[in-house]
Structure 1
Amino acid sequence: MTAYSEKRAYWQVLAFAFAAFVFNTTEFIPVALLSDIGKSFAMPVADVGLMMTVYAWVVSLLSLPCMLLTAKIERKKLLMILFSIFIFGHIVSVVAWNFGYLLAGRIVVALAHSVFWAITSALVMRVAPKGKKQMALAWLSMGSSLATILGLPIGRTIGQALGWRTTFGVISLLALVLMVMMARLLPKLPSENAGSLHSLPMLAKRPLLVALYALTVLSVTAHFTAYSYIEPFMRQIAHLSDSTTTLILLVFGASGLFASWLFGRLHKLRPNTFLWTSALILLASLLSVHLVSQSQTALFIQIFSWGTGMAGLYLCLIMRVLNYAPDATDVATAIYSGIFNIGIGGGALLGGVVMQRYGLHYVGYVGAAFAIVGMMIFAYVQRKHGKVQAAL
C-alpha cells in the first residue's frame, strides 16, 4: 500500500465514521425532542415515544430480508441508493403535518437504516489500512458515539431554538454532503462473503453466536428501557434544568468515545474480561440511576459509567459477530442489526409502559432484570462451549 492509498484508506474509514454519526443521530434524536414533538401534536410523551419503537421494529423486520435482496449489489452503488432513501424520508418528516406523516417519514428512514448497518461493519474493515481493522471498527463506534456527544445536544438546541422540523432538515443536509463525499472517496466494492438464505441454518448451529444474539437483544432492551426516557427522567425525577439535561446527553456521548479508546487499547489483550466488565458496568448503572438521581455530581458520574459500559459492550458484541461468522458476515450482521433494533423498540415500548403504570422511577430496575437474564444465558453457553477469542 502506497502512502497515497493508505491516506485515502484513512479518509474512507473517516467517511464511514461520519455516516455512523448521521445514521445514529437520526435514530436517537427523538430522545432529545420527545417533549417538543409532543407539544407540537398535543400528544403525551409516552405516545410520542412510539416513534422509536416503530423505527426500531421496522429495522429489525427488514434488516435480513433487505440484505438478502441486495446481497449481489455492488456496495458503493447500494450506499448511494440508501442515502437517497434516507434523505427523502427526512424531507417527509420535515413537512409532516400530523404525527402519522411524521411516523411515515421515519419508516422510510428506517428502511435505509436497516441495510446500512447490515453492511457497514464489514465494509469499514475492508477499506481500512493494512493491519488497522480493529481501529476502523473503533472509529465507526466513535462516529456512533459522537451522535450522542454532538448530534443529540446540537439537535436538541436547534429544535428548541428553531423547531424540531429544522433538526430533521439539518440531518438531511448532512446526509447529502456525506453522500457526495462517499461518492468521491470510495472505490467500487463488490459484494463479498455476504452469505445467503442458505447461511441461516449454518449460523443457527453455532451456539456461541446464538447466545451472543440473546445477550444482544436482552442487554439492548435493558438499556433502552431506561435510556429512551432519559430526557423526562432528568427533568421530572432528577429535577434538572433544560441546559443540564442537554449536558447529561453530552456526557453520555463522551463516555462512548472513552469506551472506544479503551476498546482499541485493551480489548485485544483480554477480550473476555473486557466484555464482562462492560456488561457488569451496564447492569450496575441501570440499578443505580434512580438511587443517585438527587445528587448531580453522582448522577454525572453514573451517566458516564453507564455510557462507557454500553458502548464497550456494543463493540465487543459486533466484533464477536464478525469473528463467529467470517463466512457469512452480511447475513450475521443483518441478524445482529435486526435483533439490536428489536431491543431498542422493545426497550422503548417497555419503558413507556413502566412509565405510565408505575412511574419513571422504575425504568432502570426493570431494564436491569433483562440485563441479568441476558448475562446468565451467555455465561452458561460460554462456559459449556468454551471461550472464543474475539480479537481479529
Structure 2
Amino acid sequence: MPLSLLMLALSAFAIGTTEFVIMGLLPNVAADLGVSIPGAGWLVTGYALGVAIGAPFMAMVTAKLPRKAALVALMVIFIIGNLLCALASDYNVLMFARIVTALCHGAFFGIGSVVAAGLVAPNRRASAVAMMFTGLTLANVLGVPMGTALGQYAGWRSTFFAVTVIGVISLIGLLRFLPVKHDEEKLDMRAELAALKGAGIWLSLSMTVMFSASVFALFTYVAPLLGEVTGVTPRGVTWTLLLIGLGLTLGNVIGGKLADRNMALTLIGAFIVMAVVSTVLTWTSVALIPTEITLFLWATAAFAAVPALQVNVMTFGKAAPNLISTLNIGAFNVGNALGAWVGGSVIANGFGLTAVPLAAAVLAVIALLLTLITFRQSATVELAAATN
C-alpha cells in the first residue's frame, strides 16, 4: 500500500479526532472557561458551521492549485487552528480557533478522496478511498477516547497539542510521499455548479443533514449525560466513548454490506432503529449496563446509515463529482451544528439531559420521512434512472 495513502489516512485521523474529541472534553472545557454545558456545546456548532461554510469556499479557493499543494495548504491551516485551540486564553478565542480549524475539513476530504483514488489502479480506487476514510473511523474508535483520557489527565489543552503534533507528522508525510502529478484535470467549477440540479441531489443532502443532526443532538452531550444522569466516572466516560467507537465501526461495515443489497431499505431501517433506540435511552440512561448496551446499539445503527448516505448522494451527483463530495461533507456538518443546537436548546430550556435522546429520536424520524419522500420520488424518470 502506498505510503502516500497512509499519510492521507493519518491526516483523516487527525481531522476526525479534533472534530469529535470535544464531545468527551465538554465538561472539562466548560468548567475551565467558566461557561455552561450548552455554551460549550456551541463549540461543536461553531466547528460544524465552519466546515459547512468553509467546504465550498475552500474548494473554490484551492481549485486552481495542484492537488498536492492544496492538501498541504489545508493541513497547514489545520495545524494553526489546533495550536490556537491549545493556546486559547478564553472561550471566544477557542471558538475562533475551532472555526479556523474547520475551514480545512470539507475541502481536505473532497480533494483527498480524489487523490487517494488516483494513487492506485482503477480496479482498486474504491478501496483506496475507503482506506483514507478508515482514518476517520479510527478517530472515533481510538482518537476520541484516547484524546478524552489525555485531556482529563493533563488538561483539555494537552489534547489539542497532541493533535497538533499529529498534524505536523501528517504534513511532513504529505510533503515527502504524496506525488506531484502534472497531468491533473483542472476543476471546472462553473460546470460543476451547473450540474447541481434536480430534486434528487438536494433531497439526498437534506437526508444527510437530518441524519447528522439526530446523531449530534445526542453525541454532543453524551459526556454530561453519562456523568450527571448515569453516574459514570470520567474514566468510565472514556471507556464508553471507546464502546461507542466500536459500535460506529461495526455499523459502518454492516451498513456497507446492506447498502450494496438495498440502499433504500438500509436507510429506512437505520433511521427507524435510531429513533427507537434513542427513545429507549431516555429511560435506560439512569442505569449503567442498560445505558452501555443502548449506546452501543445506537452507534451501530447510526453508522450503518453512513455508507448508504454517501452512495446515495454520489448517485444523484454523478455530473458534479468534485463538488458533491465536498458538499456532502458540508451537509454532515450542517447537521452536526443543528443537532448540537437542538440538544443544547433542550437542556437550556429546562427539559434536562434525559430529554436529549428524545430530541435525537424526533430528528431521526424527520430523516426517515425525507428518505421515504426521496425514494418515492424515484418513481419519476430522473430519480428512477439514478437509483437503479
Partner of 1:215: 207
What number of residue pairs does the alignment pair up?
382
- Give the structure 2 partner of residue 344 of structure 1: 336
Q: Deviations over 1:362-392 (max 9, x none)?
A: 111112212212221221221222456779x
Q: State the AA in 2 paired with 1:187.
A: P
Whole-Å separation in 1 of the counterparts to 2:301 and 2:184:
33
Alpha-carbon distance in 1 for matches of 2:5, 2:301: 24
**Percent identity over paired residues:** 25
Determine if contact 2:193/2:320 at 8 Å carries over to the other structure.
Answer: no
Equivalent residue, structure 2, for 1:3: none
Q: Superposed, which structure 2 residues align to 1:1-392 within 5 Å?
A: 7-8=1-2, 11-189=3-181, 192=185, 194-205=187-198, 207-357=199-349, 358-386=351-379
Structure 2 unaligned blocks of 5 or more: none
Of residues 339-348 and 378-387 in structure 1, the stretch that sits farther from structure 2 once superposed is 378-387
- Measure the CA separation in 1 of the matches of 2:19 and 2:346: 22
TM-score normalised according to structure 1 size: 0.90
Following superposition, the deviation at residue 38 of structure 1 comes to: 1.5
The aligned amino acid for 1:383 is R
Structure 2 counterpart of 1:363, one-letter code: V
Answer yes or no: is the 8 Å Cα contact 1:226–1:367 preserved in 2. Answer: yes
Name the CA distance, whole Å, in 1 between partners of 2:32 and 2:185.
46
- More displaced 10-residue stretch of structure 1: 243-252 or 183-192: 183-192
Deviates more, 1:321-330 or 1:245-254: 321-330
* Letter paired with 2:163: I
The Cα of 1:119 is off from its aligned counterpart by 2.5
Q: Aligned pair in 2 of structure 1 residues 151, 388: CA closer, same or farther (>3 Å)?
A: farther
Letter of the 2:378 counterpart = H
Deviation at 1:16, TM superposition (A): 2.4
Distance in 1, matches of 2:306 and 2:145, equals 22
The answer to whether the Cα contact below 8 Å between 1:12 and 1:182 also exists between their aligned partners in 2 is yes
Contact (CA 8 Å) 2:378, 2:387: kept in 1 or not? no
Question: Match of 2:377, as an amino acid?
Answer: K
Q: 1:193 to 1:267 in 2, by over 3 A?
A: farther
Q: Give the letter for the 2:68 counterpart.
A: K
Cross-structure match for 1:4:
none
Rate the CA distance shift 1:77–1:246 in 2: closer, same or farther, 3 A.
same
- Structure 2 distance, partners of 1:36, 1:303, is 22
- Rounded Cα–Cα distance in structure 2 between residues aligned with 1:278 and 1:125: 28
- State how far apart, in whole Å, the 2-side matches of 1:70 and 1:191 are: 14
Contact 2:271 2:367 in 1 (8 A): no
1:288-311 CA-to-partner distances (Å, cap 9, x unmatched) read: 221221333322222122112222
The answer to whether the Cα contact below 8 Å between 1:279 and 1:310 also exists between their aligned partners in 2 is yes
One-letter code aligned to 1:309: A
Structure 1 residue 22 displacement after superposition: 0.8
TM superposition shift of 1:194: 4.2
* CA distance in structure 2 between the partners assigned to 1:168 and 1:56 by the alignment: 17
**In 1, Cα distance between the equivalents of 2:190 and 2:225?**
43
Amino acid at match of 2:268: W
Q: Supply the AA of the counterpart residue of 2:202.
A: V
Q: Distance in 2 between matches of 1:129 and 1:301?
A: 42
- 2:56–2:323 contact (8 Å) kept in structure 1: yes
Contact kept in structure 1, 2:13 and 2:143, CA below 8 Å: yes
Deviates more, 1:73-82 or 1:123-132: 123-132
Q: Could you list the runs of 5+ residues in structure 1 that have no partner in the other structure?
A: 1-6
Distance in structure 2 (CA, Å) of the matches to 1:368 and 1:305: 14
Secondary structure at the counterpart of residue 71 of structure 1: coil
